Every structure is written in structure tokens, then in C-alpha cells.
Chains A and B, each alone.
Chain A
């Protein structure tokens, strides 16, 4: 699946998130193709979901893909739970 991560600049929290999501994907045997982008670049790009810090994704609305906010970028458990919940929601459709 294709996951975009986003933050204000596209190389701080978004890159940290992307590294974690790719690691989590690997652990669960899910192939994650990803890119970290700033907020203005993320809109309209084809992807399965957008992840970002909860404070930044509040600014993203009117998107056709799920947007998932993470409160604590250093909390791998929060990231893993939200990522796996997203994956489960996709397979149920």
C-alpha cells in the first residue's frame, strides 16, 4: 500500500513517522511504499492513507483518503495500533 506522511516541512516529524510505519509494516508483512511530504504537496496525490501528527492533519480536510493523526510521534505503540486499525479497515471493505 502507499502511505504518505506529512508535516509542515516534509522532513521532520513526517520522516520519523514514515520510518516507523515502514518498520511496522515490515514486522507485519505489509509492504509499505511511502513518502514524506509537506502539507501543500500531499493533497491530491494518489495514496491509500495519509498519516501525520494530530495537530497538523487537523488542517487537512476534504480529502478522499483516510487521514490519520498521531498524538505522540515517538510512541511506536500508538503508531502501530492506528496503522493496524487502518489496515484492518481496508481489508474489510
Chain B
């Protein structure tokens, strides 16, 4: 199932990585992309595997396995009110948290590709970091309708 909506939460407070991941995961649950169990699995994965989910400077991509409660392929976007240290030697502190749900090994390739494009383009990245319009940010990450 393809995702249609990218929930966005701006300038959200989180005291530590776990709080940030739970906040981000909550958006996935609200949107119906994942169960509460999936959020717990994301937290557990961070505790087990550490800070590698901070895949680029200031950007974290928490995720868990499909069998941990994934319902639909999708992402959400959380911009933190204050940067949070995740423990990554190069890419800390984290400002943007993008929780990912995938229901299969490769069904979410388009989502990853689009997310990568938004975050590598200086213009769109500036929108993600600075815009006060959550719909503007959501639109950047939303796949265009395919015919």
C-alpha cells in the first residue's frame, strides 16, 4: 500500500533520542501506517544498534522491521524545537526526525528516493529546516500521483 499523506510536526520538544523517536513514531500510528508496537521496536532498534540512524548531518531515520507492526509504507517528518544529541560522531545533533515504515523489502524505494532528493537539494532542505508551513513541507515529501 502506497502512502498518501506525510504527517509533519514542527518545532516539537523532545528531551532525548527516545522521546524524539516516540514522538515521530506517534505520527505514524496516528496516520495508520504502523502500530504502537512498531514504535516500541523503533526505540529498541535505536537502543540496540545505536546512532547509525543519524544517516546525514542533523537527520535521523528511525525504523523497525516490517513484522514489528508495519501497516503501510510511509514516512513522517518531525522538526525538533531544540537539537537532540543521538551519539553520532559526525552527524549530531539531530534536528529532523523522519520515521520510516516499510511493509516489504523494497516497496518503499520510491519513498526513500524522494526523501533523499528533498534532503540533498539545498533549496528543499532549507524549506524543511525553516518553513513554518507544515503543508509546504509535507508536499515536498509526498509522491506525485502516477498515471
| A positions within 8 Å CB-CB of B | 7-13, 15-16, 19-20, 36, 53-56, 71-76
Contacts and interface: CB of A to CB of B under 8 A. Distances in A.
Interface residues of B, number: 31
B113 interface: yes
List of 6 A-B pairs having minimum Cβ-Cβ separation, nearest first: A55-B52, A74-B56, A8-B49, A73-B55, A56-B52, A53-B52
A16 B116 contact: yes
A13 B106 contact: no
B9 interface: no
Contacts, number: 68
Contacts of A16: 55, 112, 116
A74 B113 contact: no
B72 interface: no
Contacts of A74: 55-56, 59, 116, 119-120
Given A19-B112, A74-B59, A74-B120, A12 B53 contact: yes
A75 B56 CA distance: 8
Given A12-B63, A54-B90, A55-B88, A72 B56 contact: yes
A7 B50 CA distance: 11
A15 B109 contact: yes
11 contacts: A8-B49, A8-B52, A9-B45, A16-B116, A20-B116, A53-B52, A53-B55, A55-B51, A72-B90, A74-B119, A74-B120
